[in-house]
């Protein structure tokens, strides 16, 4: 076999982006990793403390509560949007719908909006007195349901979660609509001939055919759920109490609020590892599914 | 041949990229135009163009005499970071800066406006950089100003204070909260590191029309105050506009209640970490109990847990509440809003007519000078400009209380400004300026806001509240003792 010539031109094409990436993303990641082993206030000299930040994290009740909230957000970022999107995709795409492109664009719009804007807008929607949600509830006679959503200890987390569902749902929809169109109509034909009902067609034709898309949706939404910061910061700042506190917000508080940059770095590292582990698990599961389909 | 085209394209693309990266340096004004208007970078709010400034006095008595001037032809840029984001604050600053530049030929002021949170996060970085701002507006307390003093990033302002006479303008307790021992060891004594320019006093803003309609007079005792709230509630009004979604308003209301029950000595010790005080004392339990009572009686805006701060004071401004316990920082915007002339202000009355009720608050965050700034003297002069009599006049015109004792003749009694200035004079003359509780420890803000939220939601009792807060404070005091 002839030796492959190194395609220098190819590397030169990616060099600018790679340089940018290396300087602004890779290097700071390594630096953060390094900081996590130190006690540092961000201004004076850091002191090397080995694994003490990680040991402290393991016993930090607030951090564990934050991780629990992140996991809870997975329900709203991942499970609900994907479930809704799958359901609606099957209902919609196998029928002729006029202006599907328009709906697709509209559904995707929340993804394009800055999370901060989304947060501010929803804060107004949730306003206890003048927000449209409570006004609507009062108008239909459901006065008792008109709660102070973002300040309620029990409802704040789901309230913020629903905003996330609103944002992610469109993204999953668009993914699945595109995916369903790749499934051969012939497979549905064959299934119907074999006597499969709608639900069985969904389980045995649609779902396996969407494995790739589901995998992408899972990984993207899971990462979003674990990374969440701006939405919580703008709506509740982690309140009331620590009900909506998430890891990224706890990191921000430590690093910039109380000058514990080393501790914040340790939180960042733990969060990164968690995200990598979950993404790896999803991708492994997905590739196994794909092999089964084939 | 194809690969040659590819190569050429790539070279062009690279060249374009490099060109894009190279340009875009911050603009510095060309020399020879010293009276150029200041460049406001990164303004966080759009602001209306500065109105015609009130006529500057003909004599230069109101201005401090310029003591420094750059050499002829030399252009000096003074970089200032501040957090004066409100519209009225920006108007005043623009005027003052214009006049400063006019009095200092060759000097250009470059002002960057940040939000409170933004400044907190970026001040450290800016002040440790050799190209950083000459002046930055820093929050008092251990985690902000204290940390910067500890890192030796701030200039000791004591010699300038003596030179310009700042100690005559502010009361000893205000000096204390801006002081640290060199090295940032002890908070509340030592050298002055920051000079605030406006006052912040927390008290009760009230709608005079609503008070009259309900037959309520401005209370002189705390009991009268509570009776007034009852009467307003019975008259169908929301007695106190309130919104705790942004967390900090709860601190102010709690502190105002607490201020009636504890004395100056306790608060000073508590904030400055002296004499091993505890938060878990009967007086604080009583204050917490009272806060819960008020919520249960319905004194606060319904649904306050889900209302943000800016939305809450707007409720007062729109006439949807009779009064509000909050700080003087909204006075300018309140006066400029609808119903602007209907508002008055009074200090939360004390339990007995002691007269030594400590009011919450104090001053705005302070102007500090970066160590290593090449324009130290000029920076000090800029700060002095901002606390001059002329500045005080402009602040008062906009309804904001300047830090020095007010010139009572400049404001009409019976107006909102008049009320504020009179209140501030009272506090200053009697050393009644209190604190913000969240200064107590670096983590105190998070601890107490979380605990207050739980208290008001009825999830913990007042006793549990004080114990929970004390955990934070006790741990901090213990760690300091090492």
Q: Mean pLDDT across chain B, nearest whole number?
A: 82
Task: Write down which residue in B410, B429, B448 finishes a domain.
Answer: B429
| CA closest to A233 among chain B residues | B246
Considering CB atoms only, which of B17, B315, B459 is closest to A153?
A: B459
Contact B246 A150 (CB under 8 A): no
Question: CB–CB of B43/B86 below 8 Å?
Answer: no
Which region holds residue A42: left if phi is over 0, alpha if psi is between -120 and 50, else beta? Answer: left
* pLDDT score recorded for residue B58: 41
| CA closest to A236 among chain B residues | B245
The closest alpha carbon to B373, from B72, B162, B126, belongs to B126
Please indicate, yes or no, if residue B468 is contained in any of the structural domains.
Answer: no
Question: CB–CB of B387/B403 below 8 Å?
Answer: yes
Contact A127 B311 (CB under 8 A): yes
| Helix, strand, coil in percent for chain B, rounding step 5 | 45, 10, 40
Whether residue B419 sits in one domain with residue B274? no
Element at B326 (helix H, strand E): strand B323-327
Strands B191-192 and B135-138, sheet pairing: unpaired
Contacts of A272 (CB under 8 A, 6+ apart): A29
Question: CB–CB of A126/B311 below 8 Å?
Answer: no
Please indicate, yes or no, if residue B457 is contained in any of the structural domains.
Answer: no
Contact A239 B304 (CB under 8 A): no
Residue of B238, B306, B316 to mutate when probing chain A, most A C-beta within 10 A: B306
Question: CB–CB of B217/B209 below 8 Å?
Answer: no
* pLDDT score recorded for residue A36: 93
With an 8 Å Cβ cutoff, the interface of chain B facing chain A consists of: 3, 6-7, 10, 14, 17, 120-121, 124, 128, 143, 147-148, 150-151, 153, 244-247, 301-308, 311, 315, 320, 442-443, 445-446, 449-451, 453-454, 457, 459
Contacts of A148 in chain B (CB under 8 A): 303-307
Specify the length of chain B in residues. 482
Secondary structure E strands in B274-337: 323-327
- What tokens does B274 get? 């002296």
Considering CB atoms only, which of A16, A43, A134 is closest to B128?
A: A43
* pLDDT score recorded for residue A250: 95
Considering CB atoms only, which of B124, B315, B449 is closest to A42?
A: B124
Whether residue B249 sits in one domain with residue B104? no
Contacts of B250 in chain A (CB under 8 A): none
Task: Determine the 3-state secondary structure of A182 from DSSP.
Answer: coil
Task: Write down which residue in B362, B385, B408 finishes a domain.
Answer: B362
* pLDDT score recorded for residue B47: 35
Query: Containing domain of residue B379, as a range?
Result: 7-199+363-429
Residue B433 DSSP code: B
**How far, CA to CA in Å, does B173 sit from each of B176, B260, B266?**
5, 18, 14
**How far, CA to CA in Å, does B123 sit from each of B128, B135, B436?**
9, 10, 21
Considering CB atoms only, which of B147, B246, B305 is closest to A148?
A: B305
| CA closest to A252 among chain B residues | B121
* pLDDT score recorded for residue B72: 55
A177 vs A72 pLDDT, higher one: A72
A-B contacts at Cβ under 8 angstroms: 103
Domain count, chain B: 2
CATH of the domain at B420: 3.40.190.10
| CA closest to A122 among chain B residues | B306
Whether residue B290 sits in one domain with residue B237? yes
* pLDDT score recorded for residue B260: 82
Q: Tell me, rounded to whole angstroms, the distance of Cα B372 from its chain centroid.
A: 26
Question: CB–CB of B195/B161 below 8 Å?
Answer: yes
Contacts of A259 in chain B (CB under 8 A): 143, 147, 442
Considering CB atoms only, which of B17, B308, B453 is closest to A16?
A: B17
- pLDDT 10s digits, B126-154: 998 888 999 999 988 887 888 899 889 99
* pLDDT score recorded for residue B23: 41
Contact B247 A239 (CB under 8 A): yes
Contacts of A160 in chain B (CB under 8 A): none
Question: CB–CB of A249/A226 below 8 Å?
Answer: no
Whether residue B66 sits in one domain with residue B17? yes
Whether residue B46 sits in one domain with residue B190? yes
- pLDDT 10s digits, A111-167: 889 999 999 999 999 999 989 999 999 999 888 888 899 999 999 999 999 999 999
Regions in chain B scoring below 70 on pLDDT? 1-4, 8, 11-73, 350-357, 406-410, 481-482
Task: Write down which residue in B331, B362, B393 finishes a domain.
Answer: B362
Residue of A151, A157, A238, A261 to mutate when probing chain B, most B C-beta within 10 A: A151
**How far, CA to CA in Å, does A106 sit from each of A134, B166, B227, B436?**
25, 60, 55, 47
Residue of B129, B154, B303 to mutate when probing chain A, most A C-beta within 10 A: B303
Burial-class residue B162 by CB neighbours within 10 Å (0-12, 13-18, 19+).
exposed
Question: CB–CB of B316/B205 below 8 Å?
Answer: yes
Please indicate, yes or no, if residue B355 is contained in any of the structural domains.
Answer: yes
Whether residue B389 sits in one domain with residue B311? no
Considering CB atoms only, which of B14, B246, B302 is closest to A16?
A: B14
Please indicate, yes or no, if residue B448 is contained in any of the structural domains.
Answer: no
Say how far apart CA B417 and CA B166 lie, in whole Å.
23
Whether residue B367 sits in one domain with residue B350? no
CATH of domain A54-293: 1.10.3720.10
| CA closest to A154 among chain B residues | B457
Strands B343-346 and B323-327, sheet pairing: unpaired
The closest alpha carbon to B328, from B255, B400, B240, belongs to B400
Task: Determine the 3-state secondary structure of B468 from DSSP.
Answer: helix
Residue of B305, B312, B447, B458 to mutate when probing chain A, most A C-beta within 10 A: B305
**How far, CA to CA in Å, does B75 sit from each of B33, B64, B71, B294, B384?**
9, 21, 8, 58, 21
B286 vs A89 pLDDT, higher one: B286
Whether residue B367 sits in one domain with residue B355? no
Contact A43 B151 (CB under 8 A): yes
Specify the length of chain A in residues. 294
Contacts of B284 (CB under 8 A, 6+ apart): B258, B261, B262, B466, B469
- How far does the CA of residue B32 sit from the closest CA of chain A (Å)? 38
Contact B306 A126 (CB under 8 A): yes
Contacts of B4 in chain A (CB under 8 A): none
| CA closest to B142 among chain A residues | A258
| CA closest to B455 among chain A residues | A241
Strands B366-369 and B135-138, sheet pairing: antiparallel
Contacts of B446 in chain A (CB under 8 A): 253, 257
Contact A240 B10 (CB under 8 A): no
Question: CB–CB of B365/B389 below 8 Å?
Answer: no
Residues A120, A124, A126, A127, Cα dihedral to 10°:
130
Task: Determine the 3-state secondary structure of A294 from DSSP.
Answer: coil
Whether residue B349 sits in one domain with residue B293? yes
- pLDDT 10s digits, A153-205: 999 999 999 999 999 988 898 888 888 877 877 888 888 888 877 777 777 78
Please indicate, yes or no, if residue B479 is contained in any of the structural domains.
Answer: no
- How far does the CA of residue A112 sit from the closest CA of chain B (Å)? 23
Contact B150 A44 (CB under 8 A): yes
Whether residue B397 sits in one domain with residue B355? no
Contacts of B443 in chain A (CB under 8 A): 258
Contact B143 A242 (CB under 8 A): no
Whether residue B230 sits in one domain with residue B167? no
- For residue B187, list its beta bridge partners: B180
Contacts of A123 in chain B (CB under 8 A): 245, 308
Secondary structure E strands in B146-271: 179-180, 191-192, 195-196, 199-207
Contact A241 B446 (CB under 8 A): no
Please indicate, yes or no, if residue B43 is contained in any of the structural domains.
Answer: yes
Contact A126 B124 (CB under 8 A): no
């Amino acid at each position: 076999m002839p030796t492959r010539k190194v395609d220098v031109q190819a590397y030169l094409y990616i060099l600018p982006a790679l340089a940018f990436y290396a300087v602004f993303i890779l290097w700071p990641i390594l630096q953060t990793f390094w900081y996590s082993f130190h006690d540092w206030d961000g201004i004076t000299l850091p002191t090397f403390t080995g694994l003490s930040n990680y040991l402290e994290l393991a016993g930090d009740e607030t951090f564990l509560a934050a991780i629990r909230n992140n996991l809870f957000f997975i329900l709203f970022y991942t499970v609900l949007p994907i479930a809704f999107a799958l359901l609606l995709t099957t209902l919609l795409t196998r029928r002729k719908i006029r202006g599907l492109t328009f709906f697709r664009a509209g559904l995707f719009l929340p993804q394009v909006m800055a999370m901060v804007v989304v947060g501010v807008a929803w804060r107004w929607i949730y306003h206890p007195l003048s927000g449209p949600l409570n006004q609507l509830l009062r108008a239909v006679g459901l006065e008792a349901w008109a709660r102070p959503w973002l300040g309620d200890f029990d409802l704040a987390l789901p309230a913020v979660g629903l905003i996330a569902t609103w944002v992610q749902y469109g993204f999953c929809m668009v993914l699945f609509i595109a995916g369903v169109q790749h499934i051969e109509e012939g497979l549905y034909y064959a299934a119907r001939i074999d006597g499969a009902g709608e639900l069985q067609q969904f389980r045995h034709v649609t779902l396996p055919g969407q494995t790739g898309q589901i995998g992408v949706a899972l990984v993207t939404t899971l990462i979003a759920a674990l990374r969440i910061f701006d939405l919580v910061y703008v709506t509740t700042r982690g309140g009331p109490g620590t009900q909506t506190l998430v890891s990224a917000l706890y990191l921000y508080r430590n690093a910039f609020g109380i000058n514990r940059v080393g501790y914040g770095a340790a939180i960042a590292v733990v969060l990164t590892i968690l995200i990598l582990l979950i993404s790896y698990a999803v991708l492994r599961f997905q590739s196994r599914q794909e092999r089964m389909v084939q | 041949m194809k690969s040659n085209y590819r190569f050429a394209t790539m070279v062009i693309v690279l060249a374009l990229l490099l060109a894009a990266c190279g340009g875009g340096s911050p603009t510095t004004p060309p020399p020879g135009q010293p009276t150029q208007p200041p460049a406001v970078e990164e303004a966080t709010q759009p602001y209306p163009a500065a109105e015609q400034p009130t006529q500057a006095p003909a004599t230069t008595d109101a201005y401090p005499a310029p003591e420094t001037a750059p050499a002829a032809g030399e252009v000096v840029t003074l970089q200032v970071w501040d957090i004066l984001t409100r519209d009225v604050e920006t108007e005043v600053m623009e005027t003052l800066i214009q006049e400063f530049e006019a009095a200092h030929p060759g000097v250009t002021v470059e002002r960057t406006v940040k939000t409170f949170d933004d400044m907190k996060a970026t001040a450290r970085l800016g002040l440790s950089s050799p190209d950083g701002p000459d002046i930055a507006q820093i929050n008092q307390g251990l985690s902000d100003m204290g940390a910067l003093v500890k890192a030796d990033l701030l200039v000791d302002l004591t010699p300038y204070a003596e030179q310009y006479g700042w100690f005559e303008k502010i009361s000893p307790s205000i000096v204390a909260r801006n002081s640290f021992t060199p090295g940032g060891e002890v908070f509340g004594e030592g050298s002055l590191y920051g000079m605030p320019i406006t006052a912040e006093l927390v008290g009760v803003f009230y709608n005079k029309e609503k008070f009259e309609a309900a037959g309520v007079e401005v209370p002189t005792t705390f009991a009268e105050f509570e009776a007034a709230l009852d009467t307003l509630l019975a008259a169908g009004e929301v007695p106190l506009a309130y919104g705790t979604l942004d967390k900090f308003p709860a601190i102010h209301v709690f502190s105002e209640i607490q201020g009636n029950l504890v004395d100056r000595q306790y608060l000073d010790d508590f904030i400055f970490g002296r004499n091993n005080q505890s938060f878990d004392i009967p007086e604080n339990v009583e204050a917490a109990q009272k806060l819960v009572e008020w919520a249960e009686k319905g004194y606060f805006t319904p649904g306050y847990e889900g209302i943000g701060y800016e939305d809450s004071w707007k409720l007062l401004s729109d006439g949807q509440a009779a009064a509000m316990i909050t700080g003087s920082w909204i006075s300018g915007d309140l006066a400029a809003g609808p119903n602007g002339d209907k508002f008055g202000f009074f200090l939360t009355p004390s339990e007995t007519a002691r007269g030594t009720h400590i009011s919450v608050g104090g001053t705005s965050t302070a102007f500090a000078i970066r160590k290593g700034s090449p324009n130290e003297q000029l920076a000090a002069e800029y700060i002095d400009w901002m606390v001059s009599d002329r500045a005080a006049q402009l602040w008062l015109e906009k309804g904001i209380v300047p830090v020095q004792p007010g010139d009572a003749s400049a404001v009409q009694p019976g107006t909102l400004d008049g009320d504020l200035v009179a209140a501030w004079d009272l506090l200053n003359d009697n050393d009644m300026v209190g604190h913000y509780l969240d200064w107590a420890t670096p983590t105190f803000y998070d601890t107490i806001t979380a605990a207050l939220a739980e208290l008001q939601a009825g999830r913990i009792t007042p006793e549990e509240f004080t114990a929970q807060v004390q955990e934070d404070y006790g741990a901090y005091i213990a760690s300091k003792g090492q």
